[in-house]
Structure 1
Amino acid sequence: MSKTIAFFPEAAFGPALNSVGIAQAVEALGHKAVFLSDPGFVSVYEGYGFEAHPVNLSEPMPPEQMAKFWEDFINGHIPNFRKSPYDQIDNYVKDCWTAIVDSAKWAQKDLPGVLAKIKPDLICVDNVILFPAIKQYGTPWVRIISCSENEIEDPKIPPHLSGCSESDYAGHAAYRDKFNAVIKPIHEDFNEFLAGTGEAAYPIGQFFEASPFMNLLLYPEPVKFTREHPLPPSQFQYLEGCVRKEKPYEVPTFTENNDKPLLYVSFGSLGAGDTELLKRIIATVGKLPYRALVNVGDYKDQYTDLPGNVIIDSWFPQPSVIPQVDAVIHHGGNNSFTECLYFGKPAIIMPYVWDGHDNATRVDETGHGFKMPRYDWTDADLAAKLDACVNDPKMKAKLAATSAHMQAENGPQKAAGILDQIVRTGKFDG
């Protein structure tokens, strides 16, 4: 019997497109997938053929103005991208959590009415903060964790956003202490909001909880952390990424280096605003024996005199591009991170914010690629790391094994099977 499954991803392309992948698989099983959406993302879901219902996550404004708001927010923080994750707590991280708490307050105004209208049988939320109306609606709800698995804390693993290595326990403690001190007034404000909705206060540093029904981690098992308290499979399942289906991509002909290895460079839709860094990478790659496809977002008009071995565009169907390349340079966003692993492609991660720091450290310490400073590098550094990505047999073997493991699992299908069981029976039996 067909059920209605609602997806409510964060207003960012990573979570949005991961949920699209799961929703495609859910509909293949005969259910109806609908989206609850920030107004600025409604057209994204409609573009994949889904029904989408707007939920205001901030003061209402036209969709194009909302998209510009986040672009301006990120671009305004470009000077902070040079700072360590620890030193970003006072600025980028604090500003983000202020905006995220505000989004939960705004959502509470719209969500009860939207849920009453669409009457979902199951709700899947991919965010870092609790929306009380979803928990209180009365049907099972599932949490999707599309960022690093350390969103679910554990005393033995690095704190979320810290970029610490797994064994740097002093670094873990220092980051947690500073995060909790800086975030305290924002957290107190959130707990006041929770009390007003009848929800219990969260301990310092926590803004969400695990779902009692199911929590789907997109993180791949080959790079997962060793926890002091292992996550019980009855409540937590690893999806091995959720690579959506995209239209095919044909690699264009370059004016130079057509017989050389192919690179893909992308810092995501928001990271494209760091045009000086992308221009620097293009100039360096222009002197090396490679070809490169470079995602420059909405800033295409700022690029002139490109080398013959580089082609730029405003957008690429990434899951159709990555299988065809030899190495990827990216910012550490979860889609790029998991897609490279899924297709067995080495990555050089130059992180700037959020879980990019965690993913960069993890790709490096598990031998699937390299973490590289965003600005403090030389042409020789980049050339050496690219050479290793393309030619290192040990790295190639590791990536091949990880890719085989992930593709055997098929994350979207696995997620759809779990959601199907919950929506039919009210629980997951394994």
Structure 2
Amino acid sequence: MAHPKTIALFPEASYGAALNCVGIAQELRRLGARPVFICHPGFSGVFAEYGFAEYQLGESGPAQTTDWNDFISRHQDAFRQSPFEQLTTYVGPTWDAIVETAIGVEEPLRQLLARLKPDAIVLDNVVMFPAIATAGVPWIRVVSCAETEIPDPLVPPYLSGLGGTPDAEWKTFSATYEKVTAASHKRFSAFLAECGLKPPPAPLFLDASPDLNLLLAPEIIRHRRAAPLDPERFIFLDGCVRHETPYQAPRFASHNDAELVLTSFGSLGAMDVDMLRRMIDVFASLPYRFLVNAGHWRDEYVQVPDNVFIDSWFPQPSVVEQSSLFIHHGGNNSFCEALYYGVPSLVLPYCWDGHDNARRAEETGVGKRLDRYDWAPDELSDVINGLLSDRAMQARLKENARKMQAFAGATRAAEAILKVTG
């Protein structure tokens, strides 16, 4: 009997990428493969919880890996800025840290891959790792961020939050992005050249895989492109939702028959306790049930309204499936899960591709966008009421959900990965 194929999945140090890869790995396992996870420091246990083997990376040399929780905490003030302002205060420093991490883990990664001897490597990241390109097996790029990560003249600049059609604002943002990432790109290019690889053109840090590229972007929010992506190498998954444990909503002190609203800004966005408290004050005045993800800051909330339940974690897909509205930060997993279950999104972005997804939600009529901080209580109340009463939007989203679920993106991803292994 042939041994099962070993597929090494290497997501970036974020829960969005990690949990997206879990969905793919679940299907790989179901199809008889042996998925294993390579994880950055701080992510031990995330994948084991779903029954997968984990291999944690160390670091070597003068470069050090980044403590991303500490990094976000130090740059939290940037979340009050516009996407353009964030280029210098957040995006530039983030690329510096990403490059530092990539260099720091190169040798441990090379050694680990030599031990694992995978049949293929799945990379869900925004940067190349030479050890992967030179491992001698197919590697698969997963774009679990917004589709804007793959540039095109008709697609708005990555991380800009811009929409509409190409104009001077697009050009200004793109030029400034290239300028603020130039030093990181120069350093990274030199590193790749030392490893015998051709660097991608500025301002890109990762080329398309020659084997297979998987994009989450569902058709309902997809951009038209001047140069359509080659369907032989680029496969759109229409979302990629993991299987989670069933969730039984708690009994509230009031409003138990009311519609359910989930509020979650991800593991990092939950640190914004003051902003969440402001939102909870508004929730208390509305005739709905609210679940609020407080992450590690659960104990910061002492007085909680009768129609609000706060916890440190929820099995998100299982909760979204039961919800009538999802309030989130525009993370691609959250956005795709809302679409997968036919739930409107209210997006309050604070960084990275959340800006792009917030704009796209409004442009395509699948939700609304609200500034993360600059809102009045009546404004938040009105937009929640409006989304929960918009029957036309809800009907359109439910029809789209049926299509996405029938498409089975996670299964298609697993099948495509196994196909490239030969």
Give the TM-score range, shorter chain.
Answer: over 0.9
Match in the other structure for 2:311: 313
Please identify, of 359-368 and 47-56, the stretch whose mean Cα deviation from structure 2 is larger. Answer: 47-56
> Which residue matches 1:174?
172
Q: TM-score, normalised by structure 1?
A: 0.95
- Which of 3, 22, 25 aligns to 1:23? It is 25
Structure 2 residue aligned with 1:154? 152
Shift of 1:37: 1.0
Identity across the alignment (%):
46
Change in 2 beyond 3 A, CA 1:157/1:176: same
SS in 1 for 2:248: coil
**Residues 327 and 60 of structure 1: is their aligned pair in 2 closer, same or farther, counting only changes over 3 Å?**
farther
- The match for 2:350 is 352
> C-alpha offsets along residues 265-301 of structure 1, whole Å, 9 cap, x if unaligned?
0000111111111000000110111110000001111
Alignment of 1:122-271 (within 5 A): 122-271=120-269
Q: Secondary structure at the match of 2:45?
A: helix
Give the letter aligned to residue 235 of structure 2.
Q
Displacement, 1:388?
1.8
Query: In 2, distance between residues paired with 1:254 and 1:71?
Result: 32
Contact 2:57/2:105 (CA < 8 Å) preserved in 1? yes
User: Which SS does the other structure have where 2:280 is aligned?
Assistant: helix
Q: Is the 8 A contact 2:154 2:224 kept in 1?
A: yes
Which residue of 2 is the match for residue 287 of structure 1?
285
**Aligned equivalents of 2:274 and 2:390: distance in 1?**
30
Residues 168-221 of structure 1 deviation map (CA, whole Å, 9 limit, x = unaligned) = 532221111001111111111111111111111322201000001110001111
Residues 249 and 320, structure 1, Cα contact 8 Å, conserved in 2: yes
Contact 2:261–2:325 (CA<8 Å) still a contact in 1? yes
Change (3 A) 1:226 1:213: same
Q: More helix by proportion, 1 or 2?
A: 1
Tell me which residue corresponds to 1:109: 107
CA contact (8 A) 1:57 1:102 kept: no
Instruction: Tell me how far 1:390 sits from its aligned partner.
Output: 1.0
After TM superposition, give the deviation of residue 259 of structure 1 in Å: 2.2
| Contact 1:38–1:57, Cα closer than 8 Å, also in 2 | no
Q: Is the 8 A contact 2:119 2:137 kept in 1?
A: yes
What's the CA shift for 1:58?
Answer: 8.1
Give 1:325's aligned residue.
323
Give the TM-score, by structure 2 length: 0.97
2:14 counterpart letter in structure 1? A
Letter in 1 for 2:377: D
Give structure 1 stretches of 5+ with no counterpart: 426-430
Deviations 1:326-382 (A, max 9, x none): 111110111110000000000100000001000000111000000110111111111
Give SS of 1:157's match. coil
- Number of the residue aligned with 2:91: 93
Task: Tell me the distance in 2 between the aligned counterparts of 1:187 and 1:112.
Answer: 22
Change (3 A) 1:401 1:163: same
> Which of 327, 334, 337 matches 1:336?
334
Alignment counterpart, residue 50 of structure 2, candidates 48, 51, 54: 48
Q: Residue 157 of structure 2: SS of its match in structure 1?
A: coil
Residue 319 and residue 59 in structure 1: after superposition, are their counterparts in 2 closer, same or farther (change >3 A)?
Answer: farther
SS of structure 1 residue aligned to 2:206 = coil
Distance 2:115 2:360 in 1: 42
The alpha-carbon distance between structure 1 residues 365 and 59, as it changes in their structure 2 partners (threshold 3 A), is: farther
8 A contact 1:75–1:274 mirrored in 2: no
Gapped runs of 5+ residues in structure 2?
Answer: none
Aligned to 1:6: 8
Counterpart for residue 428 of structure 1: none
